Amino acid sequence: MLILNKIERKIIEEAIRDVKDFPKPGVVFKDITTILNDKKAFSTLMNHLYQRYKEYDLDFIVGIDARGFIFGAALAQMLGIGFVPVRKRGKLPYTTISEKYTLEYGIDEVEIHIDAFRGEKDARVLLIDDLIATGGTANAAVTLIKQAGAHCVEACFIITLTFLDGYKEVEKKTPVYSLVEVK
């Protein structure tokens, strides 16, 4: 399986901005918007993802609200397949299925359209998001993919905060690939 080489990793890592004390004091936020406005970094990232996943025989890309939409939709277009959003509760207009998950400060919920995979049984799906921390949203998304009748072949994250161990819970359900690990 294709992984980032040292040059690609450096280009992407250098494009990620740290924002201290956001969204609250003591947190260092990993800002990926600086990848998006850096044509070399964004191109490097998307070309790498295309090369990695072009042989996976995928049917759909599922992106998690909201930054997963950016990478997921772009990759789906490059691969010539469909894109499916997993959104926060109440944002999708048609009949949905939902999954609750715990946060450090409460409970949240994500949804997917009940017909997200167009009736395709066992559709092969890649889940993508910008970052995995505690893993609650990603775990809920993998569960929704299965409930909607598809198979999540891998979960891909641009950044994994390995010190929070969220990826370990997702790995119990599907393989995880991360481009940048923050320890």
- All domains of the chain, ordered by start, with CATH? 57-182 (3.40.50.2020)
Residue 157, CA distances (Å) to 82, 117, 129 in order? 19, 22, 5
Residue 104 known to be catalytic: yes
Percent above pLDDT 90 for the chain = 96
Question: Residue 57's pLDDT is what?
Answer: 98
Report the C-alpha gap between 131 and 52 in whole angstroms: 18
Residue 118 known to be catalytic: no
Catalytic option among 8, 67, 120, 124: 67
Please check whether residue 170 is in contact with residue 155, taking contact to mean a CB–CB distance below 8 angstroms: yes
Q: What does the pLDDT look like over 113-141, one tens digit per residue?
A: 999 999 999 999 999 999 999 999 999 99
- From first CA to last CA, the distance across the chain in angstroms is 23
Q: What angle do CA 50, 56, 130 make, to 5 degrees?
A: 50
Q: What does the pLDDT look like over 8-18, one tens digit per residue?
A: 999 999 999 99
Q: Is the pTM of this model over 0.85?
A: yes
The stretch 24-52 carries a mean pLDDT of: 97
